[in-house]
A = this chain, B = another copy of it.
Amino acid sequence: MNPGPFTLDPQLDADTIAIGDLPLCRVLLNDDANYPWLILVPRRPGLTELIDLGEADRATLMREIAQVSAALKVHTGCDKLNVAALGNVVAQLHVHIIARFRTDAAWPNPVWGTAKRFPHEKAARETLIAALRGALQIPAPQS
């Protein structure tokens, strides 16, 4: 069965702001001001697991994870990166890349289900997005 064109999962769409597209992945900012938290979504339809991606796409995904991780680490000066593909709630394949600090709301626990989410203040959010677009060399999405 042809899964049709790629469309972003509605829950991911509701929770995030699009930073832009790398060759494989859409890069999203999770609008939770507790943490600098990015999400990569491979723009391929019908995927739920990493192993649903073909081998070449998996290699590209690893390169994009590394590129986004490095940009996030440089920009935030975080103590640790957390990288995870879970997908128990939102089935569409997506990879979390989260900048963690020893002082953050969940440390040293994982972020899911701990601190109540709250949105970024608009100016701070725009500054973060602009900095990441610059670091990743991706233009703003057409929308």
- The chain A residues found within 8 Å of chain B, CB to CB, are 48-51, 55, 58-59, 61-63, 65-66, 69-70, 73, 80-89, 100, 107-110, 112-113
Q: List 11 A-B contacts (CB under 8 A).
A: A50-B65, A51-B70, A51-B81, A55-B63, A58-B63, A59-B59, A59-B62, A82-B84, A82-B86, A83-B84, A88-B107
Q: Give A66 to B85 CA distance when docked, in angstroms.
A: 12
Q: Give A113 to B73 CA distance when docked, in angstroms.
A: 26
CB-defined contacts of A69 to chain B, threshold 8 Å: 49-51
Q: Give A34 to B58 CA distance when docked, in angstroms.
A: 29
Interface pair A109/B109, CB less than 8 Å apart: no
